[in-house]
Structure 1
C-alpha cells in the first residue's frame, strides 16, 4: 500500500490526526500530486478545520485534479466556503461545479443553501422544488409534480 492509500485508509477509519500528519508530509514529498492536496483538504474538513482546508482544496484544483476527486473537491470547497460565511465564493464554485457536472444534484442542494444565505430566496426555492419534484418517490408529491415544477419559479406571482 502506498502512502497516499495508507492516509486515505486512516481517514476512512477515523484516525484523522494520523492521516493529517501523513498527508501534510506527502504535500512536501509529492507537491505536484493533486490527489495528495485534495485528501489533505478532506482530512482538514473532517477535523473541523475548515479555514485550513481551503488552500488545500484550491491547490488540488490548480494542479488539475480530475474526475470524481475534482467533483469532490468542488463540492468540499463550495460547502466549506458557505460554512465560513463566504457565500459569494460558495455560489461561484458551486455554479462552476454544476456547469461541469449538471447531473450531480448535490451541487444544486448546496447552491440553494448558498443562495439562501445570499437572500436569493426565490432562486433557492426554485432549485429545491424542482429537485423535490424530480427525485421524490412520495406518491403525493408525484401526483402534484407538474404543478410543483410549474410554480417553482413563480412563487411571488398572484393569479387573477
Structure 2
C-alpha cells in the first residue's frame, strides 16, 4: 500500500468518524495502523476514534505513539496532547494528565482548551490554587461578557492570590 493510498484511506476513516460512524472508522483505522505502524497521523486518528467510542484505555497507546513519532502537523500535535491529557484524567492517571497538559500548554500557550483541561487535572491532584488561577485568567482574558470585562483588572489581580484582600 502506498503513502497516497494511506492518505486516502485515512481521510475516509476520518470522514466516517465525523459523520457519526465511529465503529466503521475504527475498523479502517486499525487496519491502517497494522499497515502503517510508524505513521503518526494514523496513530493519532486511531486514538481519537477510540476516545469517541469511550475506549479510553485503548486510546492511550495510540496517542503516545502518535506523539513519539515524527510527522504530526501542529494542529494534530495540539489535539494529541489534549486528547492524551484528557484521557489520562478520565482514567484517573492524574499525574500523567498534569504532565501531558503542562507540555501542551507550554507548546500552545494560546490554547484555552488545553489550559482548561490542565486546570481540571490540577484540581484532581489538589492543586486548587493553581487551577483557579488558570481558570480566572482564562475567563478574564477571553470572556465577551461586559460585566467580566468591567472587572477584568480585579479578576486578574485575585487570580494570583485568592486569599488576598484588596
1:61 maps to which residue? 67
The reply on whether 1:101 has 2:101 as its aligned counterpart is no
Runs of 4+ aligned residues of structure 1 deviating over 4 Å after TM superposition are none
The reply on whether 1:8 has 2:14 as its aligned counterpart is yes
Structure 1 unmatched ranges of 5 or more: none
Alignment coverage as a number of residue pairs: 159
2:29 maps to which residue? 23
| SS of residue in 2 equivalent to 1:55 | helix
Q: Distance in 2 between matches of 1:127 and 1:102?
A: 11
Q: Distance in 2 between matches of 1:11 and 1:100?
A: 27
Alpha-carbon distance, 1:66 to partner: 3.1
Q: Distance in 2 between matches of 1:66 and 1:16?
A: 22
2:79 maps to which residue? 72
Alpha-carbon distance, 1:158 to partner: 4.6
**CA offsets per residue over residues 2-25 of structure 1, 9 Å max, x none?**
111111111111111111011000
1:43 maps to which residue? 49
Alpha-carbon distance, 1:144 to partner: 0.7
| SS of residue in 2 equivalent to 1:92 | helix
Q: Distance in 1 between matches of 2:165 and 2:158?
A: 11
Q: Distance in 1 between matches of 2:63 and 2:13?
A: 17
Alpha-carbon distance, 1:139 to partner: 1.3
Relative to structure 2, which stretch is displaced further, 39-48 or 94-103?
Answer: 94-103
**CA offsets per residue over residues 93-129 of structure 1, 9 Å max, x none?**
0110111111111111000000111111110101111
Q: Distance in 1 between matches of 2:150 and 2:8?
A: 52
